[in-house]
Amino acid sequence: MYGILNRIISILKKVLPASLVKPLLPLYHRVMAYVLAASYGFPAKHMTVIGVTGTKGKSSVSDMLFTVLHHVRYPAAVAGTIRFAIKDTSEPNLFKMTMPGRGFIHAFLARARKEGVTHAVVEITSESVRQHRHRYLFLDGLVFTNLQKEHIESHGSFENYAAAKLEIGKELARSPKRPRAMIANADDERSAPYLALPVEEKLPFSYDTVSDVVHGPGTVAFTYEGVRFGMKLPGSFSVMNALAVIHAARFLGVPLTDIADALAALDRIPGRTERIEEGQDFQAIVDYAHTPDSLKALYEAYPVRKICVLGNTGGGRDTWKRPEMGKIAETYCDTVILTNEDPYEEDPRAIVDAMADGMEKKPLIIMDRREAIAHALSLARSGDAVLVTGKGTDPYIMEANDTRTPWSDAQVVREELKKRR
């Protein structure tokens, strides 16, 4: 069904004028959400579904929660920005969107159900709400990580963005499942309406509930309710992500000690503070970090000499953050290299120049992303950290006229490190 509909819609988009189609889109998306979910037998009804949303951390939390469920042998699946996985089978998300449309998520859940999956983790975005892709997921629980300034141009205002996110919480409240759990970051003031939703279990989490936090080079350890957690992930943000996972997993019946064992065994999250090791004597890190807050948090997690490579995700959108991200990079990094990222229809040099406007000291500008990464690695000394941010696991550089250049920051960093041997 997904493949057939995809071909039909592609043809219709070519032959029908946009002026005719646009007013009908909201009704179309609402109707198709129901029709497609029904065509696959409403698969989410027949499994335990945990949604994950928020501006930052939702991809990491989704992948971490799936890892915990897999570790304790729950037949589990995950659908999100990083990958689509069903039990032991995993494939990267190459759609350049977290929740592909036209019934993809229901087709995925139907396949997962057929393969014996009982628990699914689904990453849900505000953009998907606009097309009703969050409908008919019949959520058992929802994790809210945080809400930051993002997607302003797309939604029209921050208030609209916040309202779209809250719609996901309302979908949890509409779910016929029992019990339902709202797991929310109590340290974020925007969590209040989520924790006020009429559901059976409200599970706030807060950094204040952990103790004995120890940060290492690319690691963090902490104690929660008498259990020691250690992870090969850095920063206070990883502690918060772990707390979200702890609360969600315990709601699903996983003992705290098993959660700790699973997180300790987690070696990496692709594109999220991902360490690239090729025998070098410095750290090479690939991370998504697409907002000023996430960029600052990442840089603070590596208190060493830093060489930073960054651009600005998404030409034509969220232009407000360009000078802010340049300013943050200048504040925390010893060397800043600005480069091309995803310009879409916009002049890539204009994007980089807007970032440089926020900086007092002129940065290095190397528009070829591979060359920028190679140069950053050439500057690294023993004990340094080279931080390549903005794309994470994004599989393409998006350019004008819908040109997609296949890309992997992790692969390029690995290739350039091998050349240095």
Structure confidence at residue 158 (pLDDT): 87
Q: What angle do CA 4, 27, 316 make, to 5 degrees?
A: 85
pLDDT digits (tens, 9 = 90+) for 204-236: 999 999 999 999 989 999 999 999 999 999 999
The full set of domain ranges for the chain reads 2-265, 274-419
CA distances from 108 to 80, 85, 315, 386 (A): 11, 9, 30, 37
Report d(CA 278, CA 414) in Å as an integer: 7
Backbone phi, psi, residue 133, to 5°: -70, -15
pLDDT greater than 80 at residue 70: yes
Q: Report whether pLDDT(413) > 60.
A: yes
The architecture that CATH gives domain 274-419 is Alpha-Beta Complex (3.90)
Query: Phi and psi dihedrals of 119, rounded to 5?
Result: -135, 130
CA distance 174 to 51: 14
- Reported confidence tier of residue 31, pLDDT bands at 50, 70, 90: confident
**CA distances (Å), 411 to each of 240, 271, 285, in order?**
28, 11, 12
- Per CATH, which fold does 2-265 belong to? UDP-N-acetylmuramoyl-L-alanine:D-glutamate ligase (3.40.1190)
Q: Which of 98, 101, 96 is nearest to 13 (CA)?
A: 101
**Tokens matching residue 7:** 């071909």
pTM score, whole prediction? 0.93
> How confident is the model over 257-281, as pLDDT tens digits?
999 999 999 999 999 999 999 999 9
Residue of 320, 312, 334 lying closest to 384 (CA atoms): 334
List pLDDT tens digits, range 160-187. Answer: 999 999 999 999 999 999 999 999 999 9
- Token pair for residue 37? 């979910």
